[in-house]
Amino acid sequence: MQGFVAAIYLVLFAAPSTFSSHGIVAASPIYNVINYGAIGNGVDDDTQAFVKAWGDSCGDSGARGTPTLVVPGGKKFKLSPVSFKGPCKSSSFIVKIDGTLVAPSSPSEWKGCSADSWLVFQDVANLNVKGSGQVDGQGSLWWGGAKNNNKTVSQALSFFHCINLVLSGLQHINSPKNHISISGCDGGTISNLRISAPETSPNTDGIDISSTNHLNIQELNIQTGDDCIAINGNSSYITITGVSCGPGHGISIGSLGEHGISDTVEGVQVQHCTFTGSTNGARIKTWQGGSGYAKGITFDQITLNAVKNPIIIDQFYTNEASSVAVSNVTYTGFRGTSASDQAIILSCSSIGCLDIRLDNNMITSSTPGKTVTSWCKNAHGSATLTTPRVRCLLK
Ligand SMILES: *[C@@H]1O[C@H](CO)[C@@H](O)[C@H](O)[C@H]1NC(C)=O
Ligand SMILES: *[C@@H]1O[C@H](CO)[C@@H](O)[C@H](O)[C@H]1NC(C)=O
Ligand SMILES: *[C@@H]1O[C@H](CO)[C@@H](O)[C@H](O)[C@H]1NC(C)=O
């Protein structure tokens, strides 16, 4: 009895927000996948249970509180490729993942599915995906070239057409391709994730963003075989703070303008990030023959530990007339070491990179006693208080 009373107190004081002003319990409706037949032994396929739980929870009006799809901890749920599609009836939606979601280990088990992604959330507004769980893409056979239905790779977790997405707390491992892909979204925060795959795994970007505006990314730890974060075309106002990256290919704007398309990226702020043993730090990468622009980009307070290309703009320029225009890019407060001799590379097409500013940067070699240099082509702007000296930008 005492335990029961204590439990009541615990509920009263630990979760006052579940009580309305009238003193009536208004707990969020919970849709636990176990109650829909999920087994969670890592062997049986639990996809249908998740689909049923999604159907019910997405159809909940939200009148009793925000519907919450619960994946309990201590269990491993094997899922085939599946889409969780909205719009849902409630104006907001919570997915709480404390257990492990695991992909089929063999691509042939993807059952003829031609999806680009293993798990998809689509057209859901105010979606909050959180928890202490793990999302395991079982990528190793895909990395070795295994195929399903002629498809060579698939990304693990995708969000399409989301408004105000919140994603936090989870651990993402071993995706066949991109771990997290965000496309066609507006608004949102991604925070406190750990993302990891072996340094040798191909195309395993941490977070891949495209056609998305107003996204806040903070406090992530990313170790992969490709870009830690890639910001692709038609994206704007993306802020990245407190990301620790490496091994991996760094934080990349692009590739933009591939196959002659027009891509635009504007208003990217990367600050207080640390790169360790990555192939790039701050990278802007465009293809020749494309069009559009990358502008209004700042990298500030960046710590480098033996990074191969700490600062790099690479337009792959040979002789094509058109290219994505790069302008108004600022690099400030870089501190640390470069693993290659050329710490700063500004390699631009004939239209030139304009208004490139470097100020207060100090990059030295990770090999004691060695000096590092910079290299430019068609770059314009200014460099102050920066080591190595960037001669092409000195007035
Ligand atoms: C896979 O590709 C081969 C050769 O291009 C083609 O003949 C076959 O129909 C494709 N299979 C599927 C399932 O798409
Ligand atoms: C950006 O928009 C252009 C024009 O609408 C389109 O051709 C291009 O494919 C888009 N890029 C991406 C990455 O979606
Ligand atoms: C350059 O970009 C910054 C954001 O990084 C923006 O505030 C500023 O207005 C831009 N300047 C010009 C001349 O476009």
pLDDT (tens digit per residue) in 87-114: 999 999 999 999 999 999 887 777 656 5
The reply to whether ligand 2 has any atom less than 6 angstroms from the CB of 236 is no
% of the chain at pLDDT higher than 70: 90
Residue 365 · residue 394 · CB < 8 Å:
no
Query: Is pLDDT at 116 greater than 90 in this prediction?
Result: no
Tell me if 1 is assigned to some domain: no
Ligand 2 atom index nearest CA of 264: 1
The reply to whether ligand 3 has any atom less than 6 angstroms from the CB of 202 is no
Residue 377: its H or E element: strand 373-377
CA of 150 to the centre of ligand 1 (A): 6
Sign of CA dihedral 79, 82, 83, 84: negative
Tell me if 303 is assigned to some domain: yes
Contacts for 209 with CB less than 8 Å, ≥ 6 apart: 181, 182, 183, 215, 229, 230, 231, 232, 235, 238
Q: Which of 181, 262, 291, 293 for a ligand 2 pocket mutation test, highest count of atoms within 8 Å of Cβ?
A: 262
CATH number at residue 204: 2.160.20.10
User: Is-cis flag, bond preceding 388, omega within 30?
Assistant: yes
Tell me if 10 is assigned to some domain: no
The reply to whether ligand 1 has any atom less than 6 angstroms from the CB of 150 is yes
Tell me if 58 is assigned to some domain: no
Tell me if 195 is assigned to some domain: yes
pLDDT (tens digit per residue) in 218-276: 999 999 999 999 999 999 999 999 999 999 999 999 999 999 999 999 999 999 999 99
User: Tell me, what amino acid is at 120?
Assistant: V
Q: How far apart are the first and last CA of the chain?
A: 81
Average pLDDT over residues 1-15: 39
pLDDT of residue 7: 39
C-alpha span between 188 and 186 (Å, rounded): 7
pLDDT of residue 113: 60
pLDDT (tens digit per residue) in 197-230: 999 999 999 999 999 999 999 999 999 999 999 9
The reply to whether ligand 3 has any atom less than 6 angstroms from the CB of 198 is no
Tell me if 8 is assigned to some domain: no
List the domain range (segments joined by +) for residue 120. 73-145+153-384
CB atoms inside a 10 Å sphere around CB 325: 20
Nearest one of 165, 202, 199, 201 to 181, comparing CA atoms: 165
Tell me if 40 is assigned to some domain: no
Tell me if 190 is assigned to some domain: yes
Average pLDDT over residues 291-306: 98
pLDDT (tens digit per residue) in 152-168: 668 999 999 999 999 99
C-alpha span between 199 and 211 (Å, rounded): 27
Name the closest-CA residue to atom 12, ligand 1. Answer: 149
User: How many domains is the chain partitioned into structurally?
Assistant: 1
C-alpha span between 373 and 331 (Å, rounded): 16
Ligand 2 atom index nearest CA of 263: 1
